Amino acid sequence: MHANLSRLFPLLAPTAMGSGILFSYPQLATIAGLQGVIVYALASALPLLVFAALVPVIRSKCPEGFVLTEWTRQRYGVATALYLGALTLLTLFLYMVAELSAIGQVVTALTGLDGLPVIIVECIITTIYTSLGGFKISFITDNVQGAMVCGLIIIATITIGVKAEIDPELIRSSGYLEPSLLGWQLIYILPVAIITNDFFLANFWLRAFASKTDKDLWIGMSMATVAILVILTLVGVTGLVAAWSGAYPGDPPVDDGSVAFFLLLESLPSWTVGIVLVLVVTLSTAAFDSLQSAMVSSVSNDLFRNKLNIWWIRGGVVVIIVPVVILALKAPSILQIYLITDLLSAATIPVLILGLSERFYFWRGFEVVVGGLGGIFTVFLFGTVYYGNAQAGGELILLQNGLYGNDWSAFGAFVAAPVGGILWGTGALLLRLACQWILAKKSGRRFDSLDRPPVYGSESQSVASQEPVARDDVALSKSTGQFF
C-alpha cells in the first residue's frame, strides 16, 4: 500500500517533533519572549515545504533513488555518499539520544519517578514493531499516535486556558511582548539550523519520496506544516503563560527556563499531568520509531548497499541503542545535542545542494567534503578570534555556551559554518582544477575537467508514474558521480 501524503502527513506531524519540545520551546519563550516563540515555530514547520520543493527535483535527477544519499552517490561519487551517510547516522544517533533523554526527564519531572524504566520499555516496544513491520508499521502507528496528539493538544490547551490565572502586571514587567536582540538573531539562526539539519533526517526523505505524485507531496507537506506550526506555537506559549501566571520562575526561583512548562503544570489539576504524560509518550514513541527505521534504512543502503541481510542491520541498531540509553541518562542539555548537529549540517548542506543546479556541473565531491569540513574549521577560527583563545574556539563548535548567550558567538558560528563551507569548497575547486590542469599539460592530453558530464538521471521521466514503496531496503541508483 502506497503512502498518500495528502492524507498521511497531517497525522505524521509528531514524527517531526519529540518530547524535547516540552523543554526547548517553553525555554525559548522565557528568554526571547513571543518573538522567539513565533520564530522558532515557523523555523521548525516551514522546512517541510523545502522538502516538497526539492524532492521532485532530486527524484527527477535520480529516479532510482529513495533517499538523499542516493542522489549524492550518483552526483558526487561513493566517497561523498559515505561522508554524507556518516553524518546522517551521527545525526540520527544524537537525535535518538536527545529523544530518550527528554522522555526520561519528562517522566521524572511529572511523576518524580526514575525515567529509566520508561526509556527501556519504549526502546523494547518500538524495536519489536519496527523490526516486524519496518516503515510500513511506522506509518500505521504514526496515524494512531498523530490522532491522539491532536486530541490531547486540544484538551491540554483548554485546560491551561481555563485554569491558569494570568497576572496583567507580570505581562507588563516580563518584557516578553517586546523584541530583543536574541529574537532578531534567531530570525537567521533557526531557519539555517533547522532547514539544513532536516536534510540529515532520513525518515523525512523516506516519507517524502513515498508520495505517489508531486501534488500529493505538496498537499501533505502543507497540511503537516500547518499542524506542526500550531502545535509548536501552543507548546511555546506555555512558557509565556508560566511566567505571566507566576509559576515561573516560581518560589523559590528556578533559573532554568526549560522547566517552565512543568512549573505551570504544578498549578493545574492533577489529572492534567496524566494527559500530558500520555501526550509525551505518544510524541516520543512516534519520533523514536521513525529514527530507528531511518537508521536501519541508512545503514543498509548507505554502507552495505542492501547486500547485507536486513536482520543483521536491525540487530546492529538494537546494539547501538545501548550506548544511546547510557548517553541519554548523562546528557546535560537536550538543546545542545540539537545544536551540534545543526552546526554540522549548516556547514555541509549548502555546498552539497549546489550540485542541484546545472550551472554548477563542475562541482564535485571533493569540494563538498572539503567545504563541509572547512565550514566547521571556520567556526573554530571565528571562535578563536572572537574569544581570543583556541580552547574557546573549539568549545564553540560544541556550542557549550548554548544558543541563548548575550553575545554574538552563536550567531557568528551559524554564519561562519555555511559561508566558510562555501569559501573552502571554492578553494578546493580551484586547487583541484589547478592540479588537473598541470597533470593534463604534463601528460599532453586535453584539459577536460570543465567539460559537462553525462546527464545524471532522466528528467523526462514522469515522476508521477513511479510506484515507490516505503521500505527499509531503498532503491539503488545505477550510476556513480565523480569525487575528483
The pLDDT of residue 469 is: 41
Q: Which one, of 367, 375, 434, lies nearest residue 79 by Cα?
A: 367
| CA contacts within 13 A on the Cβ side of 338 | 25
Query: Hey, what's the cell of 424?
Result: 573552502
**Domain-embedded: residue 417:** no
Q: How far is CA 220 from CA 8, 13, 360, in A?
A: 7, 10, 31
Q: Which one, of 79, 97, 96, 93, lies nearest residue 372 by Cα?
A: 79
Which H or E run includes 80?
Answer: helix 78-111
- Other CB atoms within 10 Å distance of the CB of residue 273: 16
**Domain-embedded: residue 99:** yes
The yes-or-no verdict on residue 130 having pLDDT over 80 is: yes
Which range of residues forms the domain containing residue 257?
5-333
Query: Hey, what's the cell of 361?
Result: 556541473
The pLDDT of residue 66 is: 67
Query: Hey, what's the cell of 359?
Result: 550551472
Rounding to the nearest 10 degrees, give the CA dihedral for residues 146, 148, 150, 153.
-130
The yes-or-no verdict on residue 224 having pLDDT over 90 is: no
Q: Which residues have a Cβ under 8 Å from the Cβ of 199 and sit 6 or more positions away?
A: 68, 345, 349, 352, 353
**Domain-embedded: residue 61:** yes
Give the mean pLDDT of 423-429: 97
The pLDDT of residue 102 is: 85
Read out DSSP for 22-62?
Answer: HHHHHHHHHHHHHHHHHHHHHHHHTHHHHHHHHHHHHHHH-
The pLDDT of residue 65 is: 66
Q: How far is CA 15 from CA 66, 121, 196, 417, in A?
A: 19, 19, 17, 27
DSSP 452: P
DSSP 462: -
Please give the tally of structural domains in the chain: 1
Query: Hey, what's the cell of 321?
Result: 541503542
Q: Is there a cis peptide before residue 252, judged by omega within 30 degrees of 0? A: yes
CA distance 10 to 142: 10
**Domain-embedded: residue 378:** no
What pLDDT digit, counting tens, does each position of 446-468 carry?
Answer: 898 888 876 544 443 433 334 44
**Domain-embedded: residue 94:** yes
Q: Which one, of 54, 78, 72, lies nearest residue 456 by Cα?
A: 72
DSSP 461: S
- CA angle centred on 257, ends 255 and 258, rounded to 5°: 125
Residue 482 or residue 6, greater confidence: 482
**Domain-embedded: residue 480:** no
The yes-or-no verdict on residue 378 having pLDDT over 90 is: yes
Judged by DSSP in three states, 254 sits in: coil
Q: Which one, of 346, 87, 285, lies nearest residue 201 by Cα?
A: 87
- Other CB atoms within 10 Å distance of the CB of residue 172: 11
Count of positions (residues) in the chain: 484
CA distance 473 to 260: 42
Residue 412 or residue 335, greater confidence: 412
**Domain-embedded: residue 404:** no
Are 312 and 131 contacting, i.e. CB atoms less than 8 angstroms apart? no
The pLDDT of residue 405 is: 63
Give the mean pLDDT of 35-62: 86
Are 339 and 411 contacting, i.e. CB atoms less than 8 angstroms apart? no
- Give the relative orientation of helices 78-111 and 270-298 as an angle to the nearest 10 degrees: 160
CA distance 249 to 240: 11
The pLDDT of residue 382 is: 96
Judged by DSSP in three states, 379 sits in: helix
Separation of CA 466 from chain center: 27
Q: Which residues have a Cβ under 8 Å from the Cβ of 132 and sit 6 or more positions away?
A: none
Give the mean pLDDT of 19-45: 88
Mean pLDDT of the residues in the chain: 83
Residue whose C-alpha cell reads 506542526 in the numeric block: 228
Q: Which residues of 195-225 are buried (b: 16+ CB within 10 A; e: fewer)?
A: bbbbbbbbbbbbbbbbbbbbebbbbbbbbbb
Can you give the CATH number for the domain in which 174 is found? 1.20.1730.10
Residue 2 or residue 262, greater confidence: 262
Q: How confident is the model at residue 188 (pLDDT cuts 50, 70, 90)?
A: very high
The pLDDT of residue 107 is: 87
Phi/psi at 408 (5° precision): -105, 15
Which H or E run includes 353?
Answer: helix 334-353
